[in-house]
Every structure is written in structure tokens, then in C-alpha cells.
């Protein structure tokens, strides 16, 4: 491996360690995402200290996470049994899940729908719509006032919600834009969509989220829940008709 490539891998690793996350449009990140050799060298360097790169096509950033083999040595059995390793209180974790559902679920529905539409129209000579970027720019924002009205009683009311929002912003999960709460660099990276989405969409929390009064996020979350259930209801109806 040439010295220049090694220097780039070392520089990228150092920047990730110092900044915790980097945007996908960062010059070195863009190179690593298309250069298999650079990507492999980056991960090899990080693995020597028990870390790995986490990347998500639908997210604006990349970040670092602990390798499974290193978690026990770092956190111990007590830490591994905890619901988080950021010292977030239980109501803080609950708030994080609610915000993830209100922001990421609608965003992913938009992204997947747009990607499917683009794939279906690839054979057309003239495309009618440009694909939406697979990034946080298509994510809805959550109204602070709606959040307080809808979930205040369950999440500790204004004092606790304000304190936990500051924690989530400090850890990079959210961004505050006046009265709006937006996706932060780590919201779609640190929470496993494939694991969490079915539990929310098929669980009791879906009913609670579906009643959100947020003018944008609430409506889009409800649409995401209904879109998830439509195929299941059609399949159930078909099974009932076959049995009849």
C-alpha cells in the first residue's frame, strides 16, 4: 500500500476520533466510500483500537462505534446490561425513540419511495422528477410545542423534556432550530432502523405516534404506519377469502 493512501487513512481516522462524525461530502469520506482499499485500511486501523466505522446510505454523516469484541472490556457486564452507554436517563431514552420515530420513519419512507420511483423510471429517456437526496434534507422537523403537548405528561413535562433535549443535542442526535427539532448527525446512524422500525410500527407506540398533533412529522409518521399496515391487511383479507 502506498504512503499517500496510508496517510489518507490515518488522517481520516484521526478526524473521526477527534470530531466523532464527518459529513459524507467531506473529501476524504467521499474517497473512502468509493475506494475499497482506502476503506479497508481505515477499518483495519480503527479495529486495532476496538472501533469500526458506521455508515448508512440514508444518513448525511459517518461515525464510529465500538466493535462487539471490545464492548465487554470497555463497558463491563453492568454496562452491557444498561439500556444505553451515554448515561441518558430512562425518560431521555424514551424521548430519543419518540423523536427518532417522528423524524426518521417519515424520512425513510420518502427516501425508499423516491428510490423505487427512480429505479422504475431508469429506462425512460427523459425523467420527469429528479431523485430526492438520500439524506437528512428530506427529514421532517418536529415542533417543540407539539412535542410538549403530545408527550409532555409521559416524558416528564417541560422541565424534564428541556433537560433531555439538551442532552440529545449535546450527543449529536438532534439539532435545535428555534421552535423546531431537526435530525442530528447521529440520529440515523446510532439507532438500528431494521431492528427498531418493526417494533415501533407493529407495536403499541405506533398508536401513540399516530395521534401526534405535529403538523408535518405527525402526519407523515401516521402515513408511514398506515403504509406499513396496508400490505399486511391485504394479505390477511386474502387469507380470509381463501379460507371462506
Tell me which residue of 88, 42, 54 sits closest to 185, measured CA to CA: 54
pLDDT at 131: 43
Which of 80-84, 216-220, 234-238 has maximum average pLDDT? 216-220
Is residue 45 in a domain? yes
Q: What is the average pLDDT across 208-231?
A: 83
Q: pLDDT digits over 127-136, tens only?
A: 444 444 445 5
pLDDT at 203: 86
Let me know whether 139 and 187 are in one domain: yes
Count of domains for the chain: 2
Q: What is the pLDDT confidence band of residue 181, given thresholds at 50, 70 and 90? A: very high
Q: Which of 23, 39, 74 is at the close of a domain? A: 74
User: pLDDT higher for 50 or 117?
Assistant: 50
Dihedral of the alpha carbons of 99, 168, 176, 132, in degrees to the nearest 10: -50
User: pLDDT higher for 208 or 19?
Assistant: 19
pLDDT at 86: 81
Q: pLDDT digits over 21-35, tens only?
A: 999 999 999 999 999
Let me know whether 146 and 212 are in one domain: yes
Q: Is the pLDDT of residue 119 over 70?
A: no
Let me know whether 13 and 114 are in one domain: no
Let me know whether 220 and 132 are in one domain: yes
Domain holding 98, by residue range, is 90-240
Is residue 82 in a domain? no
Is residue 85 in a domain? no
Amino acid at each position: 500500500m502506498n504512503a499517500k493512501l496510508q496517510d489518507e487513512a490515518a488522517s481520516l481516522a484521526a478526524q473521526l476520533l477527534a470530531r466523532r462524525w464527518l459529513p459524507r461530502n467531506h473529501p476524504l469520506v467521499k474517497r473512502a466510500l468509493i475506494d475499497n482499499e482506502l476503506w479497508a485500511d481505515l477499518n483495519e486501523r480503527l479495529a486495532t483500537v476496538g472501533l469500526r466505522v458506521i455508515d448508512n446510505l440514508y444518513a448525511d454523516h459517518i461515525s464510529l462505534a465500538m466493535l462487539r469484541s471490545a464492548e465487554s472490556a470497555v463497558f463491563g457486564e453492568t454496562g452491557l446490561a444498561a439500556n444505553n452507554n451515554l448515561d441518558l436517563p430512562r425518560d431521555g431514552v424514551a424521548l430519543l425513540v419518540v423523536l427518532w420515530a417522528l423524524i426518521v420513519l417519515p424520512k425513510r419512507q420518502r427516501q425508499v419511495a423516491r428510490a423505487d420511483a427512480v429505479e422504475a423510471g431508469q429506462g425512460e429517456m427523459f425523467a420527469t422528477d429528479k431523485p430526492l437526496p438520500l439524506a437528512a434534507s428530506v427529514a421532517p422537523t418536529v415542533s417543540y410545542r407539539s412535542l410538549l403537548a403530545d408527550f409532555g405528561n409521559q416524558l416528564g413535562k417541560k422541565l424534564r423534556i428541556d433537560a433531555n433535549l439538551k442532552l440529545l443535542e449535546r450527543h449529536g442526535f438532534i439539532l435545535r432550530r428555534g421552535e423546531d427539532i431537526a435530525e442530528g448527525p447521529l440520529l440515523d446512524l446510532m439507532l438500528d432502523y431494521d431492528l427498531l422500525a418493526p417494533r415501533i410500527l407493529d407495536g403499541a407506540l405506533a398508536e401513540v405516534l399516530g395521534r401526534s398533533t405535529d403538523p408535518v412529522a405527525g402526519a407523515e409518521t401516521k402515513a408511514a404506519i398506515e403504509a406499513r399496515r396496508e400490505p399486511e391487511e391485504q394479505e390477511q383479507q386474502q387469507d380470509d377469502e381463501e379460507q371462506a
